[in-house]
Amino acid sequence: MKHSHTLSRQCLPRAMLALTLMAGAGGAHAQLRLPSINLPLPQRLGPLDADRLGAGIERLPAIDELRKLRLAEVGELLRRHRDVLEADPRGAPVVRRELLAWSPSTAGLAAARAAGLAIAREEGFDGALRLVVLRVPDDADTAATLARLRALDPDGVYDFNHLYTGSGSGALPAAAAAAATGAGVTAPAGAAPAGAPKVGLVDSGIDVGHVVFRDAAIARWGCAGVAHPSAHGTAVAALMVGKSARFQGGAPGAALYAADIYCDGATGGSADKIVGALAWLAREHVAVINLSLVGPPNATLERVVGAMVRGGYLLVAAVGNDGPAAPPLYPASYPGVVGVSAVDRQGRALPEAARGPQVMFAAPGNNMLSAAPGAPPFQPVRGTSFAAPLVAALLAGKLAQPDQAKAAAALAALARQAGDGASVSNATGYGIVGAALRVDPAGFRQ
């Protein structure tokens, strides 16, 4: 077991639980982080037939083939959007000519100006903390400028503006639509009962007109208030708060605070948009937040995540679908984040699901349905993206406000529910939770 040395990462008392989030990020930093994709499933099945659905899943491509596909998708994305995207030295997509600075000092900003950088925009975070987006001159190389800036200010925290994926079909955004940069918050789409728990979502847009959200209270952020419904965001949100005559998510009475960081744009899912969404959720005191997205390590995003974990938030993240031998993906592999893997109907870890000490829990992620825009209104889903929201929903009712001690207690209680609290595996962490929340295709009719 690799988990006995991870106690301090979750700030839990030793007598309660030794949580399991050692993120093995050292040597892996030199490796390319491929975007995680949700595996292909039969589409437009009409009245669902469980046998046909199962047959389609069994013909999934090999993990090695999926990695090749992702490499090709990265290359195609960079070719299609070379005006706004480029690759970092490891090949990961980043926003072209943008660098991120975490709470830079006066000397750090002076160093940035000396390197020819200008401030493009800022995002305040929890008092004096802030994220500053720096613009690289058109005649300068982004990677070389980052290296120079780090040399000028070795105490500062600087990085690329990396892209994180998980929206739409699970692949990188293919549309070239212009992304709205402004943040807009709409009024909740319904009134939550007094004292109802809150739960946060950082993902793509939601089809709030879907039947499962008819009675849901949903506050939205991002895209200057313009709705961009997507299949991924709709499915994940439904697994959290959706409810209809034949479908129920994990926390149907909770108020959902949903941030769309994609907005159908080529630069959607960038690190600065994730930080903006987390800052909004922090202002709203949403203590449990789901992030079904993955990407490379990023120094500035790591600081934001660390600040929230220390502040008593529970960040729940999918560990990714790049296979058991893949290097760790983020934010699930950051210290203190609740990493979630996925299992099938028999409780077996999905073959494409990541393995490692970043896995704290597993939940259903196959042989299940969730809401979908359009017709039919329910579609099969598969992958760790759809297991994480079930865990977030289970935690939502246990943490009303950010609080470090109560967050630790909530995790300890869920770990006891998952198993005996003693055995931990790299495949399912402390065990499987939320098995009863699976909406099985067998017997389900549209």
The one-digit pLDDT tens for each residue of the chain (446 residues) are: 333 333 333 333 322 333 332 333 333 222 233 334 343 333 322 222 222 233 333 445 566 666 666 677 778 888 999 999 999 999 999 999 999 999 999 999 999 999 999 999 999 987 789 999 999 999 999 999 999 999 999 999 999 999 998 732 333 333 323 333 344 444 444 556 667 899 999 999 999 999 999 999 999 999 998 999 999 999 999 999 999 999 999 999 999 999 999 999 999 999 999 999 999 999 999 999 999 999 999 999 999 999 999 999 999 999 999 888 888 999 999 999 999 999 999 999 999 999 999 999 999 999 999 999 999 999 999 999 999 999 999 999 999 999 999 999 999 999 999 986 567 899 999 999 999 999 999 877 76
**238 plus 340 within the same structural domain:** yes
Provide the pLDDT for residue 190. 54
**330 plus 231 within the same structural domain:** yes
Where do runs of H (alpha helix) occur along 120-202? 142-152
How far apart CA 213 and CA 240 sit, in angstroms, is 11
Provide the pLDDT for residue 446. 63
In a domain, 446, yes or no: no
In a domain, 111, yes or no: yes
In a domain, 43, yes or no: no
Query: 218-221 and 158-162: which strand pairing?
Result: unpaired
Provide the pLDDT for residue 326. 85
Residue 359, helix vs strand vs coil: strand
**149 plus 220 within the same structural domain:** no
**276 plus 375 within the same structural domain:** yes
**242 plus 329 within the same structural domain:** yes
Provide the pLDDT for residue 127. 79
E strand or H helix that includes residue 288? strand 288-291
Where do runs of H (alpha helix) occur along 284-331? 299-310
Domain containing residue 403: 7-33+174-437
* Contact (CB, 8 A) for 32 and 345: no
Residue 273's domain is classified under what CATH number? Answer: 3.40.50.200
DSSP-assigned beta bridge partners for residue 430: none
Q: Which two tokens stand for residue 397?
A: 């009712």
Catalytic residue among 203, 264, 272, 322: 203
Q: How many domains does the chain contain in total?
A: 2
**182 plus 151 within the same structural domain:** no
**347 plus 430 within the same structural domain:** yes
Phi-psi region at 9: left, alpha or beta (left = phi > 0; alpha = psi -120 to 50): alpha
* Contact (CB, 8 A) for 168 and 204: yes
Q: Is 4 a catalytic residue?
A: no
Provide the pLDDT for residue 48. 29
**98 plus 186 within the same structural domain:** no
In a domain, 146, yes or no: yes
In a domain, 398, yes or no: yes
How far apart CA 384 and CA 353 sit, in angstroms, is 7
**382 plus 233 within the same structural domain:** yes
Q: Is 228 a catalytic residue?
A: no
**158 plus 221 within the same structural domain:** no
How far apart CA 177 and CA 306 sit, in angstroms, is 33
Catalytic residue among 207, 210, 232, 344: 232
Cβ contacts of 69 within 8 Å, gap of 6 or more: 37, 61
Q: What is the DSSP string of 3-36?
A: -TT-HHHHT--TTT---------TGGGGS--PPP
**279 plus 341 within the same structural domain:** yes
Phi-psi region at 115: left, alpha or beta (left = phi > 0; alpha = psi -120 to 50): alpha
Which one of 132, 162, 192 terminates a domain? Answer: 162
Nearest CA to 231 out of 45, 372, 35 is that of 372
How far apart CA 440 and CA 446 sit, in angstroms, is 13
Distance from first CA to last CA of the chain, Å, rounded? 45
Catalytic residue among 36, 204, 230, 385: 385
E strand or H helix that includes residue 64? helix 63-80
Q: Is 232 a catalytic residue?
A: yes
